[in-house]
Amino acid sequence: MNRKTILWVIDPFDPIISHNQIVSLSQSHYKENNQIYIQLLEYHSLVYRQLSNIGKMLPPFSWNNEVKQGRKKGFYQFLSYSIPKNIRLATYNYPALVKIYWQHMKSRIIKDDRFYDEVVIFSQGLPQYYVKERIAAKKIIVYHHLFQPESVEFLKQKVILI
């Protein structure tokens, strides 16, 4: 059997899904011979500890920031990215607001250069936009906790909705 390269994209602060559900869903997607990469949108110590046994933890969602120091220009540093709480809540109440927020932030988000056989998105909103525009994969699995018209654009891709 071929070894697959799989990415799990998880928002540990998603207001709808609990930490226990995240771990349970992750375990249901785990197969021993696959190479699992785990991308948390933000660092969460409990989720990090529980999932670090399963796969390789990638650095949290981060973005480019150009730093200008004296005569040196164009030096980049990578900063941890923090998603405002109101944007997380808007994911389920006002998804159009999250899309506007993504349009504003996407140029700053670092693109992952790896190619994955499969990507599993455990949360709606920003993780979906991140995968759609910054991740290359053969197959994408999306957990939809609530159906929203904005999610229809994912149906146009090679996506399995759960």
pLDDT the model gives residue 83: 82
User: Residue 4 class from Cβ within 10 Å (0-12 exposed, 13-18 middle, 19+ buried)?
Assistant: middle
Distance from C-alpha of 149 to C-alpha of 130, rounded to nearest angstrom = 18
Per-residue tens of pLDDT for the chain, all 162 residues: 588 999 999 998 888 888 888 888 888 888 888 999 999 888 888 999 999 989 999 888 655 544 444 455 555 555 566 788 888 888 878 888 888 888 988 887 778 889 999 999 888 888 888 888 889 999 888 887 666 666 556 555 655 655
The label of the residue with tokens 């670090």 reads: 52
Neighbours of 160 (CB within 10 A): 11
pLDDT the model gives residue 147: 63
pLDDT the model gives residue 68: 46
CB burial readout 127-153, b (16+ within 10 A) else e: bbbbbbeebebeebbbbebeebebbee
In this structure, CATH architecture of domain 5-161: 3-Layer(aba) Sandwich (3.40)
Alpha-carbon distances, residue 96 vs 10, 99, 125, 148 (angstroms): 20, 5, 10, 10
pLDDT the model gives residue 70: 47
Token digits of residue 80:
């941890």
